[in-house]
Amino acid sequence: MAIHHARPGEVFDLAHPQQEVPNSQSTALFRTDDIEVIRRVLRAGEKVPEHCVDGDMTLQCLSGAVRVSAHGATQALAPGKLMYVAARAPYQLEGDGGEGVVLMTIVRVREKGA
């Protein structure tokens, strides 16, 4: 079964994703030419290796706790906390404690001439 992606104007419940998206699964909620929104789930100790994206990004903790290493510091994100990560800045994520869920919002950068 294909994963449901939100359509324009559709309300998407981040706390209780639709049945086809289990709570413990990461998923892209939607992607356009300009923006991508991902619900990323990290189990305790699970790491996303350091990398970067071409556009600016925000990371908002929805539940649990996630450690973010970016801009020369490592900080914990708890529910309701938001962090801005600048374009092309290396960052790393790690589950901190139980299952952590972050909402990643990435500004997509178009190639010149596109």
How far is residue 101 CA from its own chain's centroid? 8
Burial class (CB in 10 A: 0-12, 13-18, 19+), 12: middle
Give every CB contact of residue 26 below 8 A, 6+ residues apart in sequence. Answer: 38, 39, 40, 41
Question: 27-107 belongs to which CATH class?
Answer: mainly beta
pLDDT of residue 19: 41
The token duo for 63 is: 């539940």
Reported as a single tens digit per residue, the pLDDT across 17-65 is 544 444 567 888 888 999 999 999 998 889 999 999 999 999 999 989 9
Q: What is the pLDDT of residue 114?
A: 56
The answer to whether 49 touches 65, Cβ cutoff 8 Å, is no
Q: Which residue has the higher pLDDT, 80 or 10?
A: 80
Per-residue model confidence as pLDDT tens digits over 90-99: 999 999 887 8
Confidence of residue 13 (pLDDT cuts 50, 70, 90): confident
Name residue 31's beta-bridge partners: 36
pLDDT at 1: 47
